[in-house]
Structure 1
């Protein structure tokens, strides 16, 4: 049962888009350390787009 939940969680991939680098930096600076780590991980996985 726990494996199914884990698999579903891995399938749930989200993407974040930012309209500009300035807005991205402003939001990034307001995040907690935990939030910054999560966003850094998403960037390494290619799930953050900055237009």
Structure 2
């Protein structure tokens, strides 16, 4: 952490905040992709369940 902060000229806190933001964004993106894939692959089943 210290080496990365020093190399990038940022505080350790800024590095941590950035890492958390990236993790949350990536997690949301992966979740959205999974939901889209499920909806596409199981459209007929989801349609039947909705009735």
Whether the TM-score (by the shorter chain) exceeds 0.5 is no
**TM-score category by the smaller chain?**
0.3 to 0.5
The structure whose residues are more often helix, as a share, is 2
The structure whose residues are more often strand, as a share, is 1
TM-score normalised according to structure 1 size: 0.32
TM-score normalised according to structure 2 size: 0.32
